[in-house]
Amino acid sequence: MEINSPVFIVEKGYDGLSLGEEEHKMGIKGSSTRQVFFMDCKVPVENVLGEIGKGHLIAFNILNIGRAKLAAAALGGSKQVATQSVEYANTREQFKLPIAKFGAIKHKLAEQAIRIYAIESAIYRVSNLIENKEQELMATGMSFEKALLGAAEEYAVECAILKVAGSEVLDFVVDEGVQIYGGYGYSADFPMDRAYRDSRINRIFEGTNEINRLLAVDMILKREMKGELDLMGPAMAVQKELMAIPDFSNGESKLFDDENKAIANMKKCILMVAGTAVQKYMMTLAKEQEILMRIADMAIDTYMAESILLRVQKLVGIRGEAGSALEIDMARVYLFDALDRLNVSGKNAINAMSEGDEQRMLQMGLKRFSKMTPVNTIEARRRIAKKLIEENKYCF
């Protein structure tokens, strides 16, 4: 077989990043970067990877796997930085007290732990889904390689969510780590300096976080258009629910009833906003990137909140409620804050695509679906921080 078009290969530049053909056309160069071209190069049939002309499908699916792996790598870095933050807070003194004694530092340590636990929960969830799908495909006689790529394609949306959430959790944890270290956090003699620089690239690797947000929504909408997923049916049902009288009945409440209801309502918010966007813009929706980004943020917050809640529910089934008290705290705090973030994202999207009575109705629906029983997040964070400080490390 001959390759008639040139094969373009670029070695890595000084920053460890491969520069592609387009960058070179634009005159962007890295230190000690060299170009290699192969024209009319004969490639033995046994050396061809995949099907000729369909290499892009393999490349795209490899990106899905890479996104999930990036989230796992970010998780490991986050845990290390969280441990270093706790250790430093226990040893650094101000006003003759370890700074770990101060409420502002406790808040930071606890929030680091909450976000780490949430992304870890989502990673476990998606990994299990991919593994189960992979086993299902292999049971039909498919090879391991094709089954893995098929499973990754099935959960491409979730992989994009993991990539965004994982890289942004790491950035948050490292940024707070720098703040806990104070001036030393900016010094190359202390660990936060390198962690701060190293974490930043993860929001660019495997597709920027902006692209992954847009991709996540785009893939869902394409599946709906292909008939693989029904979005408009549930979206119309939510719009009808907005016109109905709310159910104020209060039956016997069980553990996590309020939280499960909140997750269900978060999904209704997404359907309401996304359904309105599809109706408004139809085929031009892809151009409304700001709205798509807000919908993606709503989806990410919902998936993360549901993941941590599912994990804690399973944990309670193993340890019991008393033995899972701090994990319950983390799930409730994360969900409570996620609802606020979802509300803001939804408001911005609604205000951009509606006005008058329609806007008021949508805003009322958003407010109705983003409510939750009040949570004392300050006390919950104090309890979480107390455990971290006693263990002198990230310990969940």
Residues labelled as active-site residues: 206
Between CA 111 and CA 334 the distance in angstroms is: 9
- Tell me the two tokens of residue 389: 């400080």
Task: Tell me how far CA of residue 260 lies from CA of 206, 255, 264, in angstroms.
Answer: 33, 9, 6
Q: Which ranges constitute the DSSP H helices of the chain? A: 21-25, 55-91, 103-138, 144-154, 156-181, 191-200, 209-225, 232-243, 257-281, 289-319, 325-353, 356-369, 377-391
Between CA 301 and CA 296 the distance in angstroms is: 9
List Cβ neighbours of 42 (8 Å cut-off, separation of 6 or more).
1, 2, 3
List Cβ neighbours of 64 (8 Å cut-off, separation of 6 or more).
152, 153, 155, 156, 159, 160
- The CA dihedral of 46, 50, 53, 55, to the nearest 10 degrees, is -130
Contact, 164 vs 204, CB < 8 A? no
Between CA 226 and CA 112 the distance in angstroms is: 40
Between CA 354 and CA 102 the distance in angstroms is: 45
Backbone angle region of 371, left / alpha / beta, with phi > 0 → left and psi within -120 to 50 → alpha: beta
CA angle, 92 as apex, 88 and 95 as ends, to 5°? 150
What crossing angle do the helices spanning 325-353 and 377-391 adopt, rounded to 10°?
A: 130
